[in-house]
């Protein structure tokens, strides 16, 4: 075998091995379907907001209920495809292209749902540079930066794989999410 042919074979094998290690794009970008209950507290400008939270996320989109202590719905968010709607307790309706832009215009702060879909599962959203990720002794993610946000995870138990609390700090708001329960759903 000539040296040139041998070099091409080695290069071809190396490229094939490298490609076999790459995750599929679609799988990495799609978060698992889940139902979550918890609480949210938001501090923005000189205002504060807190609520119980129920969130259902699946391939069809997101449904998020913000509720008062006695269970009344304060606001209901729904997003599917390229549209998001917000319905308030007094039945006012708002629409936008995404939950992020809708919450920014209607509530005054941006709910980072695109990242939260992964964060509640203990993972950064796709696109985080690994150098910005901090881990604890159990190799669980504890802090990272994503876009213009600083995210911190806290775990209720030493063996937990998902965070029980998520803190998100950005230039326009600080948010705390407490996850009371999270159930992954079968597709």
Choose among 158, 185, 40, 157: nearest CA to 110: 40
Helix (H) or strand (E) holding 128: none
CA distance 84 to 133: 31
106-132 pLDDT tens trace:
888 999 999 999 999 999 988 777 668
Average pLDDT over the chain reads 83
pTM more than 0.75:
yes
Whether the pLDDT of residue 77 is over 80: the answer is yes
Q: How confident is the model at residue 24 (pLDDT cuts 50, 70, 90)?
A: very low
Choose among 61, 28, 67, 44: nearest CA to 180: 67
CA distance 90 to 84: 18
Domains of the chain, earliest start first:
35-181 (2.50.20.10)
Whether the pLDDT of residue 9 is over 50: the answer is no
CA distance 40 to 51: 6
Q: What is the DSSP letter of 130?
A: G
């Amino acid at each position: 075998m000539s040296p040139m042919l041998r070099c091409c074979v080695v290069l071809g094998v190396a490229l094939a091995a490298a490609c076999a290690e790459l995750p599929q794009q679609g799988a990495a970008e799609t978060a698992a379907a889940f139902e979550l209950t918890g609480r949210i507290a938001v501090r923005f400008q000189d205002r504060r907001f807190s609520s119980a939270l129920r969130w259902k996320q699946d391939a069809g989109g997101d449904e998020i209920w913000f509720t008062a202590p006695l269970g009344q719905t304060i606001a209901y968010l729904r997003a599917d495809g390229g549209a998001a709607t917000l319905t308030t307790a007094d039945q006012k309706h708002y629409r936008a292209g995404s939950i992020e832009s809708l919450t920014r215009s209607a509530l005054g702060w941006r709910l980072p749902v695109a990242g939260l879909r992964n964060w509640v599962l203990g993972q950064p959203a796709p696109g985080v540079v690994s150098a910005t990720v901090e881990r604890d002794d159990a190799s669980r993610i504890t802090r990272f930066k994503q876009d213009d946000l600083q995210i911190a995870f806290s775990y209720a138990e030493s063996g937990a794989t998902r965070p029980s609390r998520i803190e998100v700090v950005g230039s326009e708001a600080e948010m705390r999410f407490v996850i009371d329960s999270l159930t992954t759903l079968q597709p």
